[in-house]
Amino acid sequence: MPTSLSVDTTRSEDGAVIVIASGEVDLSNVDSFRTTLRDAAENSSEPITVDLSGVEYVDSGGINVLFSLCDRIGKVIAHPLLMTTFAVSGLTELTTAEAATY
C-alpha cells in the first residue's frame, strides 16, 4: 500500500525553485519524489531548495535521490526528526541542510 506523499514545485518571489514535500518518502512513492526533484533541478539554472519540513520519514531510497541530485540542491530544509539521519548518511557534508523552525 502506497504511503502518503505530496510533492509540489513552486518559485519564491526572487524566482528560486522550491520543491515542497509532505508525508513520508519510501519505496512506495520514491519514483514520484525522484521525478519531481529531477524535473525541478533540470528546469532551474540555480540550485533548488528542497523543503522537507512536512516529512517525518525518509527511507534509504529517498536519501539516495537526494544524494544523486546534491550537486543541484542548494539547501534542504528538514523536519528536525530527519537531521540526525541526514548527518549520519553524510548528506549534510554534500549540501546544506538545516532544521525547519516552526
Which CATH number belongs to the domain containing residue 89 in this structure?
Answer: 3.30.750.24
Grid coordinates representing 61 are 531510497
pLDDT of 55: 98
pLDDT at 94 over 80: yes
Domain that holds residue 81: 5-99
The 10s digit of each residue's pLDDT in 52-79 is: 999 999 999 999 999 999 999 999 999 9
Taking only the tens place, the pLDDT of each residue in 6-44 is 999 999 999 999 999 999 999 999 999 999 999 999 999
Number of domains in the chain: 1
- Dist. CA 5–CA 30, nearest whole Å: 9
pLDDT at res. 89: 97
When pLDDT is cut at 50, 70 and 90, the band that residue 1 belongs to is low
CA separation for the pair 88, 90 (Å, rounded): 5
pLDDT value of position 3: 83
